[in-house]
Amino acid sequence: MMIIPRDIGYWSFAFDAITDPNHQVVWWAYHSVHITNLNVPKTYVLDRSTYDAVGATAPPSQHTPAWYENEVTSSTTTTTSTTTDDGMPMTTSFTSSTVVDELNGTAQQHQSFGEPKPLIMDCQYEIKARECGFVLKWYFNRKLIYQWIPSRAPVGMNQFKNELQINYSMSDSVNYKYRALVIRNPKLNHSGEYMCSVQTYDSFDRRMARFQIVVPERMLLLHYENDGDSDNMLLIKCSVFMIYPEPNLLLIVSGNLFLVSSRTLVTADQNHMYNKTVYGKIDKHLLISPTSISCVLTVPDSGYIRKRETIYYDPTPLTKWSRLRMDERGRFQLLSTDGAG
C-alpha cells in the first residue's frame, strides 16, 4: 500500500492506493478530509404573490398585447377569438401552464406566502479522527461569506453577514454540526456560484455548484393570426411578462418543427423583471389542420420550464372533395358542411 498526494484542479488530498500482486490499483482509500456530496439546489422559485407583496411593479399597460384584452381566463383553459381576413372567427385554446419541478435530479424549491422558506445548502464530507485544524468555508462567486471552526461559533461575512442563519445545526457531531449554509430570505442577487471548502493542517477539498433564483412569470401567452404581409403565412407570437431572469422562448409546430424567431422584443423594469415576446412565421401550406403550436419557456442554468399549447385549425371552407369520407364497408360518403354524415 502506498500514499499518493493528489492535486486535481480544486481538489487536493491524499489517499491510499490498494494494489493487486501485479501492482495494478484496484481500490482507493481516502487518507484525508474530502467532500462526499455538495447539496446545492439548482433552482429556487420565489412565490409570485410574495414577490409582488414586497414592491415589485406591475407590467406597464403598453406591454400587454391588444389580443389579450378580451381573453377569458379560467383555472384550466383560456380562450381567445380573433377574426380572419374573410370574417370567420379563429379560436385559439390555451392549455394550463405546466411547471416541471424536477430536472436532471435537481428539485426546485418554493416559498409559501407570508412564510419565507430558508435556502439550505449542505456540504457533506468525511474527516479522519487523526486530522487537526479543521475549517469549513463557503464562498459566493469566489468571495468568502461563511466560516466555521468547530471550536468557535460560525461567522457570516461580507454581503451575507446579516442574511445567514448561522446557528442552524445539521448534526450533533462536533465536526459536522454547522456545516450548512442557510440563507434566511433568498433574493434575486443570491443567484451565482457557491463553493464549499474543507481543510485541515494536512489536506483540503473544494466543490462548487451553480444556483439560480427564479421569479415566476405573471403571464405566459400564445397567439396566432394571419400575417399582414402575406395571406399564405401564419404569424405566431409568444409573450411572457414579469419574470426573472430573462428566459428563452421556443416556438414549436406539430411537436417537432422548431421555428426560428423572426423578431424578438425584450424589456426590463427597475426591479429587473423581464417582458419578452418572440415572433415566428410559417407557410400555412406546411400545416395539416388541426396542428399543435407550442411555446416553451426555459430559464438558463435552471430546471424551470413552462409551456403553452394551442391548436391551429385551417379556417378555409371545406371543398366538396375534402368532405368525402369512407365508411366501414369501403363506400364513400359526402359529409354535410357541418361535418355530419
145-184 per-position pLDDT tens digit:
999 999 999 999 999 999 999 999 999 999 999 999 999 9
Question: Is a pLDDT exceeding 80 seen at residue 225?
Answer: yes
The domains found in the chain, sorted by start residue, are 36-44+116-214 (2.60.40.10), 219-312 (2.60.40.10)
C-alpha cell recorded at residue 45: 422559485
Distances (CA, A) of 108 to 117, 119, 212, 255: 12, 11, 10, 26
First-to-last alpha carbon distance for the chain, in angstroms, is 85
284-319 pLDDT, tens digit per residue, is: 888 888 999 999 999 998 889 999 999 998 876 544
Pairing of strands 274-283, 204-214: unpaired
Computed on alpha carbons and rounded to an integer, the radius of gyration of the chain in Å comes to 29
**What's the confidence (pLDDT) of residue 116?**
67
Question: Is a pLDDT exceeding 80 seen at residue 113?
Answer: no
Which of 325, 177, 43 lies closest to 336 in space, CA to CA? Answer: 325
Cα 71 from Cα 131, distance rounded (Å): 67
115-137 pLDDT, tens digit per residue, is: 668 999 999 999 988 889 999 99
Average confidence (pLDDT) over 319-326: 50
Which of 314, 264, 257 lies closest to 288 in space, CA to CA? Answer: 314
Q: How far is CA 306 from the centre of its chain?
A: 8
pTM for the structure as a whole: 0.67
| Residues near 128 by beta carbon (within 8 Å), at least 6 away in sequence | 31, 32, 33
Cα 200 from Cα 88, distance rounded (Å): 76
C-alpha cell recorded at residue 159: 454581503
Assign 59 to helix, strand or coil.
Answer: coil
